Amino acid sequence: MRVFVTGATGLVGRALVPELIRHGHDVVGLARTIASRSMLHAMRAVACSGQGADVELLSDALSGVHAIVHLATGIPANEAAVEDEWPRKREVIVGMLANLLEASERSGVRTVIFPGFYGVYGDHGDEWVTEETPLAPDKASRPFAEAEELLLRSTEARRSIGVILRLGMVYAADALHTRGLLYGLRRGQIAIRGDGRMYWPQLHVEDAAQAIRLALERSPAGEIFNICDNEPVRQSELYRHLAAWAGGPPLPSDTGPLSPYLGSLNLSSLSLSVRMSNRKAKAKLGFKPRYPTYREGYRAIIEEWKREGTD
């Protein structure tokens, strides 16, 4: 299958491109800079220059393509940037999807995968969250809910075959926020937030890539899947274990701001409790997380850094 990927140079994209190529697919990636083009070539993908705003250009780029994955996003780097940056970010998430849908109709591409964000559920305390749980998106996650609606409408009208994946909190060896979190915990500079009881759905980046590939290969039209590991974890438990593995001191129980260490993570989502179940993805997509819990996932990352001497 030839797959057109936006955001192929981002955190999830850098895991998805090799995953697709390993499974015999070809990738065309949208690149807005020379650096992005070079990265795509290095990953053995074809680079297509553009920012996803020109429908003509997108239609040409989709010639010979079988499916689209829309990963391009732009999460504001900090709270101060939110007011100014959200309209532009919405343009990337929703506006580019609308352009891709128009271009795909012109080019006859049917399958469109949208890997969105668990934050659309809002806060659900200790309840299990399935794909049936009502959504309560806040300002930060509203563009993701809008993009979902757009794709579902297009699928209901049989103009495309859309699949929505609600990704958990992605961590990776090459993610600045993962490195920042472990760095801060090791130095005793990160606190548990409030009572730390909120559940965070964790997802190793390689498992995010696996889920997107499965969604492409199976393409169940109009379906929505929660994608996370098998064990959503309370923030306090996660941080206590990570601090111990990173060789840090016991954690202070404080409401310290986390932002200096978490880089471009969407901060408002950190206060949400989303105990997300991956049962449907396992049953219908055949999703099998290689890192079933944060324990295997973070340990593998810490081991990798040790081997490289960058821990």
Q: Near ligand NAP by CB under 6 A, which window of 4-12, 56-64, 152-160, 285-293?
A: 4-12
Per DSSP, the residues of the chain read -EEEEETTTSHHHHHHHHHHHHTT-EEEEEESSHHHHHHHHHTT-EEEE--S--HHHHHHHTTT--EEEE------SSHHHHHHHHHHHHIIIIIHHHHHHHHHHHHT--EEEEEEEGGGG---TTSEE-TTSPP---TTTHHHHHHHHHHHHHHHTTS-EEEEEEE-EEE-TT-HHHHHHHHHHHTT---B-TT---EE-EEEHHHHHHHHHHHHHH--TT-EEEE--S--EEHHHHHHHHHHHTTPPPPPBS----HHHHTTS-GGGGG---EE--HHIIIII----SS-SHHHHHHHHHHHHHHHT--
Q: How far is the CB of 249 from ligand NAP (least distance, A)?
A: 27
Q: Which is nearer to ligand NAP, 140 or 250 (CB)?
A: 140
Q: Contacting ligand NAP (CB under 6 A), which of 30, 45, 68, 215?
A: 30
Q: Contacting ligand NAP (CB under 6 A), which of 1, 21, 25, 32?
A: 32
Cα separation, 168 vs 199, whole angstroms: 11
**Contact flag: residue 272 with ligand NAP (CB under 6 A):** no
Q: Near ligand NAP by CB under 6 A, which window of 68-76, 230-238, 252-260, 280-288?
A: 68-76
- Binding to ligand NAP (CB under 6 A) within 41-60 occurs at 51-52
Q: Contacting ligand NAP (CB under 6 A), which of 92, 103, 113, 182?
A: 92
Q: Contacting ligand NAP (CB under 6 A), which of 20, 69, 71, 281?
A: 71
Q: Contacting ligand NAP (CB under 6 A), which of 3, 12, 17, 190?
A: 12
Q: Which is nearer to ligand NAP, 136 or 250 (CB)?
A: 136
**Contact flag: residue 112 with ligand NAP (CB under 6 A):** no
Q: How far is the CB of 75 from ligand NAP (least distance, A)?
A: 6
Q: How far is the CB of 229 from ligand NAP (least distance, A)?
A: 13
**Contact flag: residue 10 with ligand NAP (CB under 6 A):** yes
Q: Contacting ligand NAP (CB under 6 A), which of 68, 109, 113, 117?
A: 117
Cα separation, 68 vs 71, whole angstroms: 10
Cα separation, 114 vs 144, whole angstroms: 9
- Binding to ligand NAP (CB under 6 A) within 226-255 occurs at none
- Binding to ligand NAP (CB under 6 A) within 146-205 occurs at 167, 169-170
Q: Give φ, ψ of 45 to 5 degrees.
A: -105, 160
Q: How far is the CB of 68 from ligand NAP (least distance, A)?
A: 13
Q: How many residues bind ligand NAP (CB under 6 A)?
A: 25
Cα separation, 181 vs 258, whole angstroms: 9
Cα separation, 58 vs 233, whole angstroms: 40
Q: Which is nearer to ligand NAP, 51 or 230 (CB)?
A: 51
Q: How far is the CB of 122 from ligand NAP (least distance, A)?
A: 15
For ligand NAP, the binding residues (CB under 6 A) are 6-7, 9-13, 30, 32-33, 36, 51-52, 71-75, 92, 115-117, 167, 169-170
